[in-house]
Every structure is written in structure tokens, then in C-alpha cells.
């Protein structure tokens, strides 16, 4: 097959270097399925990897990109045949295994799922790991008994990728959504997605009290640190919070009070190594429950060549919603 363009990250004495290179199938890493990549995306984690702010990349050189969608061109895996439309999220792709910022990828078939027929490749990457993570968080709230009748659900980092998709999903399922954001100028955008109330993130950014006033039945937190501690302290008795991000920090200066006095559940959301049945359920529910009109409203499309310029913007909180990167 013809060669393809790939973004290659290399480690130098001066730090990290990103260059576009022309590669062939012989340059790809081991795997039993080869995919022609048509679309990918940029998540917060990708921004960290591309800028080197955090050591996301653990093997050098590396093709970044933790997501991709495309068409199988060759397979030695029993589940896939050429022509199958597939999606990949996580599994160390873009970290220890060549990722999605390239025209082709070769991976283990066990890492792939077949793209739901109700979603195009572009829509799948408008969802991406951010939206897939949001769905995993919604599933966790449901497993822990947080139903719409229990009360409102807060979403932090609401204007980001995880937050935006979480709002759409929760609103569609009948929850009253409280959106926390530092970009109050995005209030109309968040309301259009389905948020019933907007609060300024400053209310949650300071040190948390052991217990605060009970304000919500559950939460989806993409921020971590003091924000997560405050969300926990204000969660109603028997509620649950799904933690899936660390934009404010990895620390959690909380106490046991919410857990032993209010019976709160803190559910950790891991999108990278989630087992295949859970991934398949998440993507089935995304195809079923996500309002595609609202998904389009929060999505912009860019050529893959612009991904390096987008990386510092997503870390600075300047990107609203989701960005689909078109390959080729």
C-alpha cells in the first residue's frame, strides 16, 4: 500500500520534538489488525502528550493520538475482516503503542470495537475518548442508584469535551443538570446542551469543608483536586460522584465524612483499560442516547495537520466542546 503521513514524537536532549513524516506499513508496530484511519480527535490527555506537560508518552519515538476511527484493511483476528468500520479508545495507544495521528494504524484486534451503525466515523470521533468517558461516568451513576428522581447532578469542567457530552446525555435521560464552569461566557452554550443551572467554578475551587450543604444527588467530575472535594462534601445522602479527570490537579484534600456520614460513593472512571464488554455497552448507549443534533452543535472539524496548534489551546481551556480531526 502507499505510504502515509504520521506525526512522530521523538525525545531529544532539548526535550520533545514533533515532526510530520512519511511512513509505510512496515514502520508500524505489531498487531493483528491494520486500519486505514479516517478520523481522530484531540482530548485533554492528547494535549498533555503533545506539549510534554506531563509524561504521557512512555515509549519513543511515538505516534500520539489516543483515539481513532477507520476501516479495517487487513486482519488476522477472528472478529474482524477487511471493510469493517472500527473505533479505538485507549489501551495505551498514543502512549506506548503508535496511535491515531497517522493515515494508518496497526493494533491488537482485542482493542477495537465495531463502530455502531448509527454513528458515522466523524460522529464517533466527535464523541472520542472524552464522550466515551462521559458515558462510562453516566453508567457508573446509574449502577449506584442515581436516578433523575433523586435530584440534580453536577458536571464540572462543563464546557470541555467530557463535560459537554455528559450534559447532553444526562439531560436526554431526564436529569436536572448543574454545570460548573470557569467560562461563564459559555452559559448560553451550556444551556443549549441541556444544563438547567450554571454555577461559577470559583464556588468549588477553594479548600472543602468536611461536609457542606447537600446540593446534588450525584456528580461527574473532570477537574479533581479541591473541586472534587467540594463536590463530594455537597453530595446528598446516598449519592455518588464519578471522577474522571484532573484538570485542577491529582490531589484530593477531602475527609472521610461524606463517605461515613452520608454514605457517598466515589466511582473512579478508567477509560484506558476498561474491559471490552463495558466499552461495547458504553458505545451502544452513546448510539442510543446521545442527541446527535446537540453533538453537531458542540463539534468543530479541523485537518489533522492543525493538531499541534490545538494542543496548548485545549490545555488552556480555550477549546469548547469537541474537535474532529480529519485524516488525509
Name the segment(s) of the chain with CATH classification 3.90.180.10: 4-115+298-326
DSSP letters of 179-203? EEES-GGGHHHHHHHT-SEEEEGGG
Looking only at the bridges linking them, the beta strands covering 235-243 and 33-41 are: unpaired
Q: What are phi and psi of 322, to 5 degrees?
A: -130, 150
What pLDDT sits at residue 71? 98
What pLDDT sits at residue 253? 94
Q: What CA–CA distances, in Å, run from 39 to 104, 210, 302, 316? A: 11, 45, 10, 24
pLDDT along the chain (328 residues), means of 10: 94 91 97 98 95 94 98 98 98 98 98 98 97 98 98 96 96 98 92 97 96 98 98 98 95 97 98 96 98 95 98 93 94
DSSP letters of 70-127? EEEEEE-STT--TT-EEEEE-TTBTTTB--SSBSEEEE-GGG-EEPPTTS-HHHHHHH
What pLDDT sits at residue 107? 98
DSSP β-bridge partners for residue 30: none
For the entire predicted model, the pTM comes to 0.95
Taking alpha carbons only, the member of 328, 281, 271 closest to residue 71 is 328
Name the segment(s) of the chain with CATH classification 3.40.50.720: 130-268
Q: Answer for the pair 276, 298: CB distance below 8 angstroms, yes or no.
A: no
CA angle 300, 304, 307 (to 5 degrees): 80
Three-state DSSP at 240 gives strand
Separation of alpha carbons 185 and 202, rounded Å: 14
What pLDDT sits at residue 304? 98
- The residues, ordered by sequence, that sit 6+ positions from 77 with a Cβ below 8 Å of its Cβ are 32, 33, 108, 109, 110
Taking alpha carbons only, the member of 325, 320, 326 closest to residue 161 is 320
What pLDDT sits at residue 12? 85
Q: Which CATH number fits domain 130-268: 3.40.50.720, 3.30.1540.10, 3.90.1150.60, 3.40.50.300?
A: 3.40.50.720
CATH number of 4-115+298-326: 3.90.180.10
Amino acid at each position: 500500500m502507499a505510504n502515509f503521513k504520521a506525526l512522530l514524537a521523538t525525545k531529544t536532549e532539548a526535550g520533545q520534538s514533533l515532526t510530520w513524516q512519511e511512513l509505510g506499513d512496515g514502520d508500524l508496530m505489531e498487531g493483528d489488525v491494520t486500519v486505514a484511519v479516517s478520523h481522530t480527535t484531540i482530548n485533554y490527555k492528547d494535549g498533555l502528550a503533545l506539549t510534554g506537560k506531563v509524561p504521557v508518552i512512555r515509549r519513543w519515538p511515538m505516534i500520539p493520538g489516543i483515539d481513532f476511527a477507520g476501516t479495517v484493511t487487513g486482519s488476522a483476528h477472528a472478529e474482524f475482516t477487511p471493510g469493517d468500520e472500527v473505533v479505538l479508545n485507549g489501551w495505551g495507544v498514543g502512549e506506548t503503542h503508535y496511535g491515531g495521528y497517522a493515515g494508518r494504524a496497526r493494533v491488537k484486534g482485542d482493542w477495537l470495537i465495531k463502530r455502531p451503525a448509527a454513528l458515522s466515523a466523524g460522529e464517533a470521533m466527535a464523541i472520542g475518548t472524552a464522550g466515551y468517558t462521559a458515558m462510562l461516568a453516566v453508567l457508573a451513576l446509574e449502577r449506584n442508584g442515581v436516578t433523575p428522581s433523586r435530584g440534580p447532578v453536577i458536571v464540572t469542567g462543563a464546557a470541555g469535551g467530557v463535560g459537554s457530552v455528559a450534559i447532553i446525555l444526562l439531560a436526554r435521560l431526564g436529569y436536572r443538570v448543574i454545570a460548573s464552569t470557569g467560562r461563564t461566557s459559555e452559559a448560553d452554550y451550556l444551556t443549549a446542551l441541556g444544563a438547567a443551572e450554571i454555577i461559577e467554578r470559583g464556588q468549588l475551587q477553594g479548600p472543602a469543608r468536611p461536609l457542606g450543604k447537600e446540593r446534588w444527588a450525584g456528580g461527574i467530575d473532570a477537574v479533581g483536586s479541591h473541586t472534587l472535594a467540594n463536590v463530594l462534601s455537597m453530595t446528598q445522602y446516598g449519592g455518588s460522584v464519578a471522577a474522571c479527570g484532573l484538570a485542577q490537579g491529582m490531589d484530593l484534600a477531602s475527609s472521610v465524612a461524606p463517605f461515613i456520614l452520608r454514605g457517598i460513593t466515589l466511582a473512579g472512571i478508567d477509560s484506558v483499560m476498561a474491559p471490552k464488554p463495558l466499552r461495547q455497552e458504553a458505545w451502544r448507549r452513546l448510539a442510543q442516547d446521545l442527541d446527535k443534533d446537540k453533538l453537531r452543535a458542540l463539534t468543530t472539524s479541523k485537518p489533522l495537520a492543525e493538531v499541534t496548534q490545538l494542543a496548548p489551546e485545549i490545555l488552556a481551556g480555550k477549546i469548547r466542546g469537541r474537535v474532529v480531526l480529519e485524516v488525509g
